[in-house]
Amino acid sequence: MAADGAAEAAPAAAPCERGATVWLTGLPSAGKTTLAFALAERLRAEGHKVEVLDGDEIREFLSKGLGFTREDRHTNVTRIGFVAEKLAANGVKVLAPVIAPYADSRAAVRTRHAANGTAFLEIHVATPVELCAERDVKGLYAKQAAGEISGLTGVDDPYEAPADPELRLQTQGRAVAESAAELHAFLTERGLA
Ligand SMILES: Nc1ncnc2c1ncn2[C@@H]1O[C@H](COP(=O)(O)OS(=O)(=O)O)[C@@H](OP(=O)(O)O)[C@H]1O
Ligand SMILES: Nc1ncnc2c1ncn2[C@@H]1O[C@H](COP(=O)(O)OP(=O)(O)O)[C@@H](O)[C@H]1O
């Protein structure tokens, strides 16, 4: 209680103590994983608690057995969203470089965060499909073109680009460090870094 009897406001949490989910959505080879790990490194060095929920790793453990049908992708995304919210509610910066191609799956994750009062930032890593196919980090675009696989997001499977993300990041013509800095600056603006 203050000397004049008024209740004192609790001090605002420092950026390091504020949890949030930062979801990086975009096509395969857009740059989601690269940017998530670059941001994670910087945030950790600044004293944040950080967890990267990488799509590939999640599919090896939490979502083992799921494929790439619409239903399986939805299940995968909502599972990741569930875990992310729990961690973020406990002060962790959760970085989720996960394609999440369907708007309704992403909306479900957003709604769950909002219901719990947990910060959720949707970042669209908006690399054009032509450049993603050129990068082709895992050779998936080449395999699709050769008819060895089908159902590749953005090529012969849907990608519903976010209509109103918190941030749309362009990576074409930008160095990784530049895009990572833009993302970090955005978190700073939001009081999260
Ligand atoms: N058919 C098809 N479509 C899209 N992606 C495919 C496919 N098959 C395998 N992969 C690889 O799976 C990686 C993880 O996918 P995600 O869990 O992020 O996808 S999803 O959100 O459930 O749609 C994803 O990782 P990134 O390349 O890092 O995005 C792909 O490399
Ligand atoms: N500005 C940039 N931001 C992120 N990645 C970039 C950028 N410029 C070039 N790249 C390259 O693009 C590739 C993206 O691969 P990756 O991060 O695995 O994509 P995703 O996780 O979206 O499938 C990496 O080889 C990375 O070095």
108-149: pLDDT as tens digits: 999 999 999 999 999 999 999 999 999 999 999 999 999 999
Residue 86 belongs to some domain of the structure:
yes
Is 33 close to ligand 1, i.e. is its CB under 6 Å away?
yes
- 27 is annotated as contributing to ligand binding: yes
Residue 7 belongs to some domain of the structure:
no
- 165 is annotated as contributing to ligand binding: no
Q: Looking at ligand 1, which atom is closest to the CA of residue 98?
A: 18
- 32 is annotated as contributing to ligand binding: yes
Q: What is the pTM of this model?
A: 0.95
Identify the residue whose C-alpha is closest to ligand 2 atom 25.
Answer: 137
Q: Looking at ligand 2, which atom is closest to the CA of residue 24?
A: 22
Residue 3 belongs to some domain of the structure:
no
Ligand nearest, relative to CA of residue 152: 1
**Total domain count, the chain:** 1
Residue 24 belongs to some domain of the structure:
yes
Residue 125 belongs to some domain of the structure:
yes
Is 184 close to ligand 1, i.e. is its CB under 6 Å away?
no
Q: pLDDT digits over 13-45, tens only?
A: 899 999 999 999 999 999 999 999 999 999 999
Of the chain, the percentage scoring pLDDT greater than 90 comes to 92
Give the CATH number for residue 185.
3.40.50.300
Task: Output the 3-class SS for the chain.
Answer: CCCCCCCCCCCCCCHHHCCEEEEEECCCCCCHHHHHHHHHHHHHHCCCCEEECCHHHHHHCCCCCCCCCHHHHHHHHHHHHHHHHHHHCCCCEEEEECCCCCHHHHHHHHHHHHHCCCCEEEEEECCCHHHHHHHCCCCHHHHHHCCCCCCCECCCECCCCCCCCCEEECCCCCCHHHHHHHHHHHHHHCCCC
Is 55 close to ligand 2, i.e. is its CB under 6 Å away?
no
**Distance from residue 138's CA to the centre of ligand 2 (Å):** 11
Is 100 close to ligand 1, i.e. is its CB under 6 Å away?
yes
Q: How would residue 55 be classed by pLDDT, with cut points 50, 70 and 90? A: confident
ipTM reported for the complex, 2 dp: 0.98
Average pLDDT over the chain, rounded to an integer: 95
Residue 14 belongs to some domain of the structure:
no
Residue 8 belongs to some domain of the structure:
no
Q: Amino acid identity of 182? A: E
Is 137 close to ligand 2, i.e. is its CB under 6 Å away?
yes
Residue 1 belongs to some domain of the structure:
no
Find the domain containing 165 and state its range: 20-189
- For residues 6 and 101, which has the higher predicted lDDT (pLDDT)? 101
